[in-house]
Amino acid sequence: MDLVFRDADVVDGSGGDSYRADVGVEGGRIVSIVKEAAAAGCQRPTARRVLDAEGLVLSPGFIDMHAHSDLALLRDPDHSAKAAQGVTLEVLGQDGLSYAPVDDRTLAEVRRAITGWNGDGSDIDLDWRTVGEYLDRLDRGIAVNAAYLVPQGTVRMYAMGWEDRSATEGELNRMRQLVAEGLEQGAVGMSSGLTYTPGMYAPDAELTELCRVVAEYGGYYCPHHRSYGAGALRAYQEMVTLTREAGCALHLAHATMNFGVNEGRAPELLALLDEALAAGADISLDTYPYTPGSTTLLALLPSWAGEGGPDATLDRLRDPATAERIRHHLEDLGSDGCHGVPVDWGTIEIAGVTNPVLTGRVGSRVPDWPTARRLLLEDRLGTTILQHVGHEENVRTIMRHRVHTGGSDGILHGLKPHPRAYGTFPEYLGRYVRDLGVLTLEECVAHLTSRPAARLRLPDRGLVKEGYAADLVLFDPKTIASGATYENPRTLPVGIPHVLIDGRFVMEDGRRTDVLAGRSIRRS
């Protein structure tokens, strides 16, 4: 064989008890698992390389169910932010906004709309227009595997621009066609960002029709729903209801209960989901193990301020009367962009800017609306923020649920990104498993491997099992930890010496190799 892990403590992703075994790899596949090989006295598997795994855990590679690496994978072939965590697969196209399918107009607009997530893309040859062409571009060589969701906001932008109205039948048919084409070309489902323009302009009836298309192809719907604040439970119920009507599987993106209005209310969310699951709904969710959120400063504005696109938003910010109206919605009413909760400027920390003149503001808080307005104008809407509005008990309660999976929601752009981009998976296994005991090791690994693989309908990933792809992580359960902090968010984790994708080392002895083993993982 090519490789044998000898005397590994195998946590196979099923949720069952760990066991000691020799695990053999050949041709990118797991070909042999000999349990208790040393004790059994049997012939032990041999290989061209034998790696002593005594005291280390061998698990399936981790699947990041909510990633914003759409351009980062192309920009940075090293991509240690994810590879060093043991991530072997990321799901892109999140929150309803990404770079395919597009025409020239839509591509230019979406680049500006999510500059705060991914940069403006000027350093990358954006030579694709369809979902299939984007996946083909990934197949030229990337650090880790990637799946893709058709972004509903981009589809709406393509079909009808930035107008806040219901679609005509012709426009709805065009959106149906774009979603179907994306799924035919390999997308695994559809995402929405229902607090981001223009996707948030879609009424439920429109979303239901698009979800019917997703269901026809066996995909799933992944919404960033309409509120994580004042209307959170109502927004969750809305997504459950419309996907049940459409017959579509539902995966709830970064399923948090944030802001003061939701402190201690995670059990209410889980009761809602348990009732739907008992009635036959197909639901899963992802979370990250941190309390602050991260988004763009632009995202906090009321939806009407985004109608017409980025240039129209800038014009509104320049006009004193309109800017005052925006302030009133933000500070007094609670804008839909800020989840119906009046903004508390003290919770808003600047994580990244596009305009280099503003670099000195990174890491500081936004004290008031005049400052926020100047930032938006001077940075041309490209400012990224942390929003310190979460609750630790809600985080712990939700991660225990039986349909929970892990998703970093990691924005890699900006000088001071959220540490979840570099630390989510070791944070789960170090802090929440070893240090706090919120989950057992076996439970947590299942949350990060086989559960997301089942949602993605991957027939040969997510388990340490003979015949499965050799996407594997070898880590030390006694030392694994996130190195990323809010002060130093780009610090790599410790305790993860080896990571393999299709049997090839992308991390070896704790260092990133030059191997680009990743490719697109397409809906089969």
318 occurs within a structural domain: yes
User: What CATH number did the domain enclosing 37 receive?
Assistant: 2.30.40.10
Cβ burial, residue 276 (10 Å; 0-12/13-18/19+): buried
Question: Phi and psi of 376, rounded to 5°?
Answer: -60, -40
180 occurs within a structural domain: no
Tell me, yes or no, whether 363 and 462 share the same domain: no
Tell me, yes or no, whether 373 and 483 share the same domain: no
403 occurs within a structural domain: yes
Q: Kindly tell me if the per-residue pLDDT of 40 is higher than 80.
A: no
Tell me, yes or no, whether 399 and 277 share the same domain: yes
Q: How confident is the model at residue 42 (pLDDT cuts 50, 70, 90)?
A: confident
Nearest to 69 by CA among 126, 142, 141: 142
Q: Tell me whether the omega of the peptide bond preceding residue 60 falls within 30 degrees of 0, making it cis.
A: no
- Min mean pLDDT across 37-51, 145-159, 420-434, 450-464 is at 37-51
Per-residue model confidence (pLDDT) at position 43: 81
Q: Which of 325, 357, 385 is the last residue of a domain?
A: 385
Name the pTM for this structure.
0.97
What is the tens place of the pLDDT at every residue in 3-36? 999 999 999 999 999 999 999 999 999 999 999 8
Cβ burial, residue 67 (10 Å; 0-12/13-18/19+): buried
Tell me, yes or no, whether 359 and 451 share the same domain: no
Q: Are 218 and 248 in contact (CB under 8 A)?
A: no
β-strands 87-92, 145-151 pairing = parallel
Tell me, yes or no, whether 346 and 361 share the same domain: yes
What is the tens place of the pLDDT at every residue in 458-475? 999 999 999 999 999 999
Structure tokens at 267: 């059990």
Structure tokens at 46: 């041999």
Tell me, yes or no, whether 495 and 396 share the same domain: yes
Per-residue model confidence (pLDDT) at position 488: 97
126 occurs within a structural domain: no
b/e 384-411 (16+ beta carbons within 10 angstroms → b):
bbbbbbbbeebbebbbebebbbbbbbbb
Helix axes 169-184, 204-216, angle to 10 degrees: 30
Q: Which of 365, 385, 405 is the last residue of a domain?
A: 385
Tell me, yes or no, whether 414 and 320 share the same domain: no
Tell me, yes or no, whether 376 and 395 share the same domain: no
Cβ burial, residue 257 (10 Å; 0-12/13-18/19+): buried
Structure tokens at 510: 């704790």
Tell me, yes or no, whether 360 and 404 share the same domain: no
Domain count, the chain: 2
Q: How confident is the model at residue 524 (pLDDT cuts 50, 70, 90)?
A: confident
As a whole number, the mean pLDDT across the chain is 97
451 occurs within a structural domain: yes
142 occurs within a structural domain: no
Tell me, yes or no, whether 395 and 366 share the same domain: no
Q: Kindly tell me if the per-residue pLDDT of 132 is higher than 90.
A: yes
Tell me, yes or no, whether 492 and 405 share the same domain: yes
Tell me, yes or no, whether 303 and 286 share the same domain: no
Structure tokens at 99: 């770079």
- State the DSSP H helix or E strand holding residue 193, giving kind and residue range, or none if neither: strand 189-193
State the average pLDDT over residues 38-64: 91
What is the tens place of the pLDDT at every residue in 143-194? 999 999 999 999 999 999 999 999 999 999 999 999 999 999 999 999 999 9
Distance of alpha carbon 461 from alpha carbon 440, whole angstroms: 21
In angstroms and rounded to an integer, the radius of gyration of the C-alpha atoms of the chain is 22
Give CA separation, 415 vs 283, 358, 387, 399, in Å: 36, 11, 16, 29
What is the tens place of the pLDDT at every residue in 203-253? 999 999 999 999 999 999 999 999 999 999 999 999 999 999 999 999 999
113 occurs within a structural domain: no
13 occurs within a structural domain: yes
**Domain residues for 70?**
1-94+253-291+390-515
Give the torsion sign (CA, 165, 170, 174, 175): positive
State the average pLDDT over residues 343-366: 96
Structure tokens at 96: 């309803």
- State the DSSP H helix or E strand holding residue 372, giving kind and residue range, or none if neither: helix 369-378
Percent with pLDDT over 70 in the chain? 99
Question: Phi and psi of 220, rounded to 5°?
Answer: -135, 160
State the average pLDDT over residues 443-451: 98
What is the tens place of the pLDDT at every residue in 326-341? 999 999 999 999 999 9
Percent with pLDDT over 90 in the chain? 98
Q: Which of 355, 385, 415 is the last residue of a domain?
A: 385
Q: How confident is the model at residue 37 (pLDDT cuts 50, 70, 90)?
A: confident
State the average pLDDT over residues 55-80: 97
What is the tens place of the pLDDT at every residue in 271-329? 999 999 999 999 999 999 999 999 999 999 999 999 999 999 999 999 999 999 999 99
Q: How confident is the model at residue 64 (pLDDT cuts 50, 70, 90)?
A: very high
